Copies of this chain bind each other. A is one copy, B any other.
Amino acid sequence: MEKEGETLQAWKERLGQELDRVVAFWMEHSHDQEHGGFFTCLGRNGKVYDDLKYVWLQGRQVWMYCRLYRKFERFRRPELLDSAKAGGEFLLRYARVAPPGKKCAFVLTRDGRPVKVQRTIFSECFYIMAMDELWRVTGEARYKSEAVEMMDQIVHWVRKDPSGLGRPWLSGAPASESMAVPMMLLNLVEQLGEADKEMASKYAELDDWCAQRILQHVQRDGQAVLENVSEDGKELPGCLGRHQNAGHALEAGWFLLRHATRKGDPELRAHIIDKFLLLPFRSGWDPDHGGLLYFQDVDGLCPTQLEWAMKLWWPHSEAMIAFLMGYSDSGDPALLHLFYQVAEYTFRQFRDPEHGEWFGYLNRDGSVALTIKGGPFKGCFHVPRCLAMCEEMLDALLSR
């Protein structure tokens, strides 16, 4: 036990130092002092190679800065809060394509003009995360009402009427559900309901609905998590139905573990650990080179996505959170050892000791495929969220 405590302590320090370095990278390179918001297209050394502003990543960085400010004494620094507020103002002014309509752009020019709009809910989801967390650190009610109004709009799009998203109805398109949708909503339910009984109560039914919808993605007699299923929880035909994304399953896993904790349901917890942590790890971990394959076909066929065998940073950061949370909640040492296994691989392969932050995209053999530190889909989010959450969990474990 003493040995175990030492290992936990060593990882806590390692994660904490890495978090400091990662936050320093984004503080140094990503702030747009002129327009507010963040540059996320950053080369290996942090140099901006494109000044487009991706709305997912704007919202995520605002959220991350506020969360660090709120939860970590050492990050209670005015420059973090000021940058988060400037990012929040940028979103408030520019994210929506045609205010007062709530549909947000996917990407904006540096000065906030819309470049592309996705017909999905994800820009809006990260907008909510930013606003809710800004409310929590500033206490300004306008942020909270922005968050709640957008949340109600998203729930309407998902559960009542998707026509506002702009997708045409097509007779051959299967009524499929991507796991990403109930996952994101579940994450938002947790965000909005934290230490807020009124919000928790408002979204209690949605909390259960999301969990039930995610659980429907367990298919093949409980032997696989599939990324897309029909709305009534059946496997879909073709590649779409056979598609697996281990990183998503593991991320859904820890969202669901939080749900099980809210519900006080140890049986559900055991089911989640089995289906959303252990299954995806077993099928997704590359036995030859280590690391999680990005996509798989449940029948073992070759996926059609060119990047299927690459190793991306975010499935690994989500796996670290999932296994450490699984261990914290259950005490099962097998989960702690999986955390160590993933964390060792991740620190060895993704970290850049020279310039800070992590590489995002490796070849199957672990060599770096893209040297960028940020881009259209990688910003200040998965890496620091993982490091911060794992540091907190290790701290709690060590204080037990």
Contact = CB atoms under 8 A, between A and B. Distances in A.
Interface in A316-346: none
A115 B363 CA distance: 32
Contacts of A141: none
A361 interface: yes
B370 A306 contact: yes
A171 B304 contact: no
Interface stretch (A30-38, A45-53, A379-387): A45-53
A226 to B, nearest CB: 15
Contacts of A41: 238-239, 304
Interface string A285-329: 000000000000000011110111110000000000000000000
Given A41-B304, A307-B306, A361-B306, A173 B115 contact: yes
A78 interface: no
State how many copies of this chain the complex holds. 2
Given A52-B238, A239-B49, A363-B363, A172 B109 contact: yes
Contacts of A117: 168, 170
A117 B119 CA distance: 13
Mostly, the A contact residues are loop
Interface in A332-389: 361, 363-364, 369-372, 375-376
A43 interface: yes
Contact of A116 (B173, B309, B310, B364): B173
A371 B302 contact: yes
B173 A43 contact: no
Contacts of A44: 302
A50 B238 CA distance: 5
Interface residues of A, number: 44
Given A113-B170, A114-B172, A310 B306 contact: yes
A108 interface: yes
A272 interface: no
Interface of A: 41, 43-44, 49-52, 97, 105, 108-109, 112-117, 168, 170-174, 237-239, 301-304, 306-310, 361, 363-364, 369-372, 375-376
List 3 tightest A-B contacts by C-beta distance, closest first.
Answer: A113-B172, A109-B172, A50-B238
27 contacts: A41-B239, A43-B302, A49-B238, A49-B301, A49-B302, A50-B238, A50-B304, A51-B237, A52-B239, A105-B170, A105-B172, A113-B171, A114-B171, A114-B172, A115-B170, A115-B172, A115-B174, A116-B170, A117-B168, A302-B372, A304-B372, A304-B375, A304-B376, A306-B306, A306-B310, A306-B361, A307-B307
